[in-house]
Chain A
Amino acid sequence: MKLSEDQLMKIELDRTKCTGIGMCESVAPDFFEIDDDGELVVLRDAVDGAEVADVEAAVLACPTAALRLRP
């Protein structure tokens, strides 16, 4: 699937699955950050075409499958 540069994807986080392990932050720090309480903060949930690869890598890196990237 090829995305045009202006097509926006959206990050969805399932808080019931997230354990705050932070792998997503380690892969895509522009989008994810663990806060002082160990909770994940999604810094920005709209992802444009150029950034999709990074965020996809973060989605795959999530140990608990808590993240999704949706059109």
Chain B
Amino acid sequence: MSSGSSGGRLVVVGASLAGLRAVEAARRDGFTGEIVLVGDEPHLPYDRPPLSKAFLEDDSAPEPTYQPPSHFADLDVDLRLGTRATALDPVARLVATAGGEIRYDQLVIATGSTARTLPGLEGLPGVHVLRTLDDARGLRQALDLAGRVVVVGAGFIGSEVASSARKRGLSVTVLEAAQVPLERALGPEMGGAVSALHAANGTDLRCGVGVQGIHQGSTGLRVEATDGSSFDADLVVVGVGADPATEWLEGSGLELKDGIVCDATLSAGFPGVYAAGDVARWFNRDFDVEMRLEHWTSAAEQGAIAARNAVTGACGEYRTVPYFWSDWYDRRIQFVGVPTADHVTVVTGDPAEGRFVALFRSGSRLAGALCVGYPAHTMKYRRLIGAAASWEDGLAFADSRR
């Protein structure tokens, strides 16, 4: 328990994972002041990963709300849902919201990210994105009535949607504009190896194929592709990535560069102002680089650390070996570390069988590990990478597991 905890008013903007963890950590650290949690969605904080997995697969899957209203009462949090923050003045320490100004002593910004759309297709009936609970409810209802689904974008969320639609027995085509999917997340070789899971599970993945336009026809939607082909669909899901939700901070003086630029302690450069989660670009000392992650685990951890630093005045650094998982067709895909590598080798299993481990090398270091269907290995590599293990250490560990 920290001794430096003070009173005052902590305002947390963004009532999702990072925001929830922030208010919980502030109280755990003995903060006795006022806490205001502002979120623009009408819902209590809920878990996003199930929205593209269990929630879509099964109409009876419950809504993944984290905590009941009593949790916030117990924490003595003034919860302002359905309230959008519209501007920040970090000098006067004011957050403007649709419901009036809120003065803060400490601020944690956790506004996450927003799904990208395709220009000109916003709001077209039958065309969905997936980021929020409302998106997921709408999509689940639409899947009930659909036979043919086209997914635009073979990233993690698009691929999970494809997998959930296949589990429902629907016919699924995925269009990916890049030649290789997931190149930024996994590198070219492994992006291809993981994406092979689609064909193995009856999903038609077309790479190097973008969307030209989508039209309402007599029998549903018609998706015109850039290579001249076209696809009929009852519904289209656009999964082309997400952007950090920083528009409301334009002109605030905070440095914005694909996210809010923070130092190693998640401080955003103004007194009392911290950022956490998908919206934060911070300096990760474990790799000595600036990064912005869109991963569940780091959002949760950053929320807690940002709040602790804000209310206790501690200068705890957030350093981490990035970790994310994704579930496709009953396979758990896990990645630890960073995918920027000089060399990638499969050390266990076989990509052709859809079950393997690949290690990523950067200089003499083990930089990353991709585990597809090897959940028992993942966290052991994470520890090795966190301990700055050499490439040889990584190979030796792989040998020991064979």
Contacts and interface: CB of A to CB of B under 8 A. Distances in A.
A25 B376 CA distance: 10
B379 A29 contact: yes
Contacts of B374: 36
Interface in B274-324: 296-297, 300-301, 304, 323
Interface residues on A, range: 10 to 19
B300 A25 contact: no
A58 B255 CA distance: 34
B170 to A, nearest CB: 25
B378 interface: yes
Nearest to B25: A60
Interface string A22-56: 11011001000111111000000000000000000
A10 B304 CA distance: 25
Nearest to A32: B379
Contact of A26 (B296, B300, B382): B382
A29 B380 contact: yes
B297 A23 contact: yes
A33 B401 CA distance: 14
Contacts of A34: 375-376, 378-379
Nearest to A29: B383
Contact of A36 (B301, B375, B379): B375
A60 B297 CA distance: 12
A21 B382 CA distance: 12
A34 B380 CA distance: 10
Interface string B208-234: 000000000000000000000000000
Given A26-B383, A29-B383, A63 B376 contact: no
Contacts of B301: 61
A24 to B, nearest CB: 9
A35 B376 contact: yes
A20 B379 CA distance: 11
B332 interface: yes
Contacts of A22: 375, 378-379
Given A26-B382, A26-B383, A20 B300 contact: no
A13 to B, nearest CB: 16
Contacts of B382: 26
Contact of B376 (A21, A23, A36, A60): A36
Contacts of B323: 23, 26
Contacts of B383: 26, 29
B329 interface: no
A26 B386 CA distance: 10
Contacts of B297: 21, 23, 63
Interface in B341-355: none
Contacts of B379: 22-23, 25-26, 29, 34
A25 to B, nearest CB: 4
Nearest to A38: B375
A1 to B, nearest CB: 10
For B325, B376, B386, the residue with the greatest tally of chain A CB atoms inside 10 Å of its CB is: B376
A14 to B, nearest CB: 15
B82 to A, nearest CB: 26
13 contacts: A20-B375, A22-B375, A22-B378, A22-B379, A23-B379, A29-B383, A33-B376, A34-B379, A35-B376, A36-B375, A36-B376, A38-B375, A63-B297
